[in-house]
Structure 1
């Protein structure tokens, strides 16, 4: 993956001797923003949950420009924990960028994400990894907070509406898109590139790159320290981002079908209107002052412009794939044949 070193003020990867050793089995990536009060317990709980398992692990905490001393505290905690790798971004970029920064530094075969507010329980991580190891038909596991402890209606209502809307629009049916506790196979993360606020739609993006997704219930705890960063206004941002993700998933490689289709819907009736008015004109009637003439001309012009925009989009897609050598598809390993089906 490409490295965004220009965004990083202090990257502990270079200073951490563990980064030069063997890659761990699990990389836990946690974006952090103004969570200083929760960090000691968070780091301790991750260590307790994974330290007793058979897997090696690393914890990558990405401080997203906090101004409460979170970065300094993470650096202090890392002095006695070789598996803790803090990263400090130069300013607040948002959760998607913080996750991407962590993904680019993750070295594990499995990658787990969770929030830094202690509402997700690190004790759920081993069960998620066991599922990935035992079931080759699963590439991503999304947590479902089936017994949410959030009491505020300003959090529960927007979340419920967003989950239903996103499931309907993307056709990836999940109960809880907002749960940060998720586990992935490494190859899925390597195919994803997050920006803006696309972290809300990671399951949809993961399915687009070939991930087979399951949802499992996980524990959820009420926030006891710090303040929530979410509110009712988040719902409106989700709607705008949903327009982007639907376009991205359906028309990324065929923008002419989106713009051209809409253009034809305008061009066809506009052309029929003008043909009708032409017949009226030939019959001797005056059409210069008729509003229908202006409507027909505008519809034809807008339709032509949209079709041209679609053609330009097709050229850009071609340049994107051929110039950057990015694949248009992904493959997975073929399943091994059953012993009974092998030829003697």
Structure 2
């Protein structure tokens, strides 16, 4: 992006791995949702793709100055990709969505507006899916996972798996980082004393390709992550009230 280009107020972070056929349509949809409303950038984090994702993004970047690509040499997972994108973001508000086309960019304005209207009180605007288009098994596993998480963490959120989220960049960077962070953002943001805004979003079928994330390959890791987040919440201490004592001469 040339130095004369204004600094964006909103950054859209999209983690992708092997999503070559989904890149261009998603960029067009993001532009349709945001053009004329915010000065924004789109930060694609290419998480070690082995297909033509990188080449497709390079072609788009030649046409759109507000699209960036950051590449992981090898796949590091969704949480790492989101963190890379947020750290590289130039906007004070960061919105995320999955790169497979299931998250509809038309809901980005609602999420971004919820952060703007919330001021310093709202740290996260979270999409909650309705009318999910996943397989019956995937919806079942998600229902179980969300139920267990909600009962253990009492985070007041029915769906943390939705990739559509918006938050203040400084809030995200203040959170403790671990692999799997993206699935526990509501609980961790609440831990820091912020409120959560919720936006119902309509789910869509994946546009093309296959999911890069399975159930059994992350089941036990998810259980350990849940225990770790529960521990973090239990160990959180209130920030002490501090008053400077001035010297009187």
> Which TM-score applies when normalising by structure 1?
0.65
Q: Distance in 2 between matches of 1:80 and 1:240?
A: 44
Which structure: greater strand fraction? 2
Inter-partner Cα distance in structure 2 for 1:200 and 1:330:
29
Q: TM-score, normalised by structure 2?
A: 0.89
Change in Cα spacing, 1:221 to 1:330, as seen in structure 2 (3 Å) is farther
Q: What residue in structure 2 maps to residue 288 of structure 1?
A: none
Asked whether 1:17 is paired with 2:2, we answer: yes
Q: Map of 1:82-97 to 2, 5 A cutoff?
A: 82-97=65-80
Determine the structure 1 residue equivalent to 2:137.
154
| Alignment pair present for 1:244 and 2:228 | yes
**Structure 1, unaligned runs of 5 or more:** 1-15, 254-327, 332-344
The structure carrying a bigger helix percent of its residues is 1
Q: Which has the higher contact order (CA 8 A, sep 6+)?
A: 2
2:34 to 47, 50, 56: 50
Q: Which has the larger radius of gyration?
A: 1
Per-residue deviation, 1:76? 1.8
2:84 to 93, 101, 124: 101
State the distance in 2 between where 1:86 and 1:107 align.
13
Per the alignment, do residues 170 and 191 of structure 1 end up closer, same or farther by CA in structure 2, a change over 3 Å counting? same
What residue in structure 1 maps to residue 100 of structure 2? 117
Check conservation: 2:8, 2:40, Cα contact below 8 A. yes
* 1:146-188 deviation line (CA, Å, top 9, x unaligned): 21111x1231111111111111111101111100100112331
What is the root-mean-square deviation in Å for CA atoms of aligned residues? 2.0
Can you give the 5+ residue segments of structure 2 that lack an aligned partner in the other structure?
A: 242-249
Could you say which residue in structure 1 is the equivalent of 2:44?
A: 61
In the alignment, the residues of structure 2 paired with residue 105 and residue 178 of structure 1 have an alpha-carbon distance, to the nearest angstrom, of 23
CA-to-aligned-CA distance 1:215-267 (integer Å, 9 cap, x gap) = 220121011301012333133332121112112222367xxxxxxxxxxxxxx
